[in-house]
Chains A and B, each alone.
Chain A
Amino acid sequence: MKKSVRLLTAALAFASAGQYAVAAQGEFNPDISLILDGRYGDYSNDSDYELPGFMLGGEASRGEKGFHLGHNELVMSANIDDLFFAKMTTAIAEHEGETEVELEEAFIESQGLGYGLTIRAGRFYSDIGYMNNQHGHAWDFMDAPLVYMGLFGNQLIDDGVQLSWVAPTDVYFRLGFEFTRGERFPAGGASNDGKGASTVFAKWGGDLGVSHAWQFGLSHWSADIDGRTSAGHAHEAATEIPSFSGDSSVSAVDFIWKWAPQGNKHETNFKLQLEYFQRDDDGTIELLGSAPLETTSYQGEQTGWYLQGVYQFMPRWRVGYRYDRLNADNTGADAAVLEEAGLDDEGHTPERSTLMIDYSRSEYSRIRFQFSQDDSYEDSDNSFFIQYIVTLGAHGAHQF
């Protein structure tokens, strides 16, 4: 009886299979996946987090103590028709006791334009750098590198359009442009009538034999900023909010190298990741809420890089090490105002070393332990985190 049922199911499935493809992705329309992320953290410092020389914004933080939730995300995507694909990611997170729903991504994307061209419109992760366009749960460490925290408030997300082109060459080459609103940190004010920021990026990549693959990228972001406010920097008079207006640009270099013996990553593999960023700011700083208004001219140069390696030493188990370093060289007419804005590096060079080990029972679950020696500000600290990340629903495909 069971066998005949199975045969019948098989026959039905065969009969209903399309002419060209077995229904795989898109069996549910849309594809829905839910990502759950929970954490336990421990560190000793109780003072507010800061990165000397950087105005913190966005989601910059060092994580919380004790049991807490990370980003729990609901992702939906589907082909809209033969021309458009769409995707939306909402993150549900708790900030200071309030549950907040954040729209992380909501975009439409062309498909089938051909000629290697893709147009995307809506809210999306910028293609600046390497890991900016990846979801946090796809990162190899629980938190963002310091340079992402310091420059972008973890990730550069903006509203606008992206145009990209893949060249018809043997060596992979992709060139892209983004024109965006420029309202979210690290931009601000949506200047130029809501067309305040733009990005250009280029990526090259290829293989070396069967076991090695590489990718190299260059990217540049620039914005006219009308009020980049720092939300994360604490001050004894909390009403004073530092705000930057002027020109800002970020240049980035990234390099990825992956190794897997015979190209078979299932047993063992290694990934090396290096990114370098430099931000140049030129404009003025105001301390909003101060009376009389405190202001200064400001030229900032902030650089940062990290190098990380992640080694899967046996199926399901990976270890990783990351080294982070930042440097700020900010000048202005009134050093006291810069200091209050958090732009004085206080003679400190932020750095951090992080070790992680994680276990993935399947492609859908991961448990991670992470230990950091954190010298990102004067009070050096050790932190420890445990994290789980699980995925329910549609099978996500991972980019390089």
Chain B
Amino acid sequence: MKPVNHYILLISLLFFYTPVQAALNVFACEPEWASLVNELAADRAVTYSATTAYQDPHHIEARPSLIAKVRRANLVICSGAELEIGWLPVLLRQAANADVLPGRQGYFEAAAMVERLDIPEVLDRSQGDVHASGNPHVHLDPRRIHTIAKALTTRLIELDSDGEAFYKSRLQDFEQRWQSAMQVWKSRAGSLKGHRAIVHHRDWVYLFDWLGIEIAGALEPKPGLPASAGHLVSLKQMLDKQPVSMIVHTIYQNPRAAKRLSGLTATPIVELPYTVGGGEAADDLFGLFDVTIDKLLKALQ
């Protein structure tokens, strides 16, 4: 089945199937957090993801359907660190659901649970769309996912204390599987260490921090600004002197600039899923990292 069909099916299921027995109604801003909630809460939560891997989480319409979902949620889980600043505040304000306002138990910002990288020293919009609280794409580091999973479990228990034993056993089970998966990923990805990459946007800071890949530059001249011809030329000149192993972008980013630079420099392009649902096998957090490492290794061949 094509991934697109997959999504339509998934979304239509979420629309028409609303089980009553679930203890929690969860609104996840991004699919990675919906997947984490599924790992930790299973049937005790009905989870809706506001976005898909085909959408840029920086730029989402505050659609009426999303307001309706937030209105009924017991828990809103998002990356935070200003990633959703253009749309989440509108949803929260308009839905008027007291349980999920920032500061309440029903509001969970994943980025707040971990140390963040890329915290700008200077806040100046001439530097592009920089996030004052640091880079928000924290889900691409499995170590941080682990920390977040623990904090999320604590929160789930606060919200649904009847399920305490259940959530604790789910976390234990998840931690076991996650840690052994991390070992496999780390050993498989050993050869990636020390390689350099050009990225479209700095979505990959945490992934590359974990894998030891160096970000040599970005296709966006400034975060959030599109690649210009002049910028591509300067990247080409840089790569002529010191080549990189790959050019990395997400599914939701237009591959045009990556292709142009690849054409100029014969550097392989890697399109990574970025999040759960971004391609065939990336249908949960485990699959996401499996596919990501597969694709990165393939670029080295």
Q: Which residues of A contact B (CB under 8 A)?
A: 5-6, 9-11, 13-14, 17-25, 27, 82, 85, 109-118, 164-174, 203-207, 209-210, 213-215, 258, 260, 262-267, 315-316, 361-364, 395, 397-400
Q: A22 — which chain B residues lie within 8 A by C-beta?
A: 80-82, 109, 111-112, 116, 133-134
Query: Assuming the A-B contacts A6-B121, A111-B101, are A262 and B55 also in contact, with contact meaning beta carbons closer than 8 angstroms in the complex?
Result: yes
Chain B nearest CB from A210 CB (Å) reads 6
Chain A nearest CB from B59 CB (Å) reads 5
User: Which 8 A-B pairs give the minimum distances between C-beta atoms?
Assistant: A205-B64, A114-B98, A172-B64, A262-B54, A172-B68, A112-B98, A22-B133, A207-B65
Among B7, B62, B254, contact of A400 (Cβ-Cβ < 8 Å)? B62
Q: Does B190 contact A (CB under 8 A)?
A: no
* Chain B, Cβ-Cβ closest to A170: B68
Inter-subunit contact A397/B68 (CB<8 Å): no
Give the complex CA separation of A6 and B101 in angstroms: 31
Q: Does B132 contact A (CB under 8 A)?
A: yes
Q: Which residues of B contact A (CB under 8 A)?
A: 4, 7-8, 11, 15, 18, 51-52, 54-56, 58-65, 67-68, 71-72, 80-82, 85-90, 93-99, 101-104, 107-109, 111-112, 114-117, 119, 121, 125, 128-129, 132-134, 224-226, 252, 254
Query: Assuming the A-B contacts A21-B102, A263-B52, are A398 and B96 also in contact, with contact meaning beta carbons closer than 8 angstroms in the complex?
Result: no
Inter-subunit contact A265/B85 (CB<8 Å): no
Among A9, A17, A209, A266, contact of B8 (Cβ-Cβ < 8 Å)? A209
Inter-subunit contact A171/B68 (CB<8 Å): yes
Inter-subunit contact A113/B63 (CB<8 Å): no
Chain A nearest CB from B50 CB (Å) reads 10
Give the complex CA separation of A109 and B93 in angstroms: 10
A-B contacts besides A166-B96, A213-B61, A263-B61, 12 pairs, CB < 8 Å: A24-B133, A117-B96, A170-B18, A206-B65, A207-B63, A260-B61, A263-B51, A263-B54, A264-B252, A315-B254, A397-B90, A400-B63
Inter-subunit contact B102/A210 (CB<8 Å): no
Q: A112 — which chain B residues lie within 8 A by C-beta?
A: 98, 101, 104
Give the complex CA separation of A316 and B224 in angstroms: 11
Inter-subunit contact A27/B226 (CB<8 Å): no
Q: B71 — which chain A residues lie within 8 A by C-beta?
A: 116, 166-168
Q: B95 — which chain A residues lie within 8 A by C-beta?
A: 116, 166
Chain A nearest CB from B149 CB (Å) reads 17
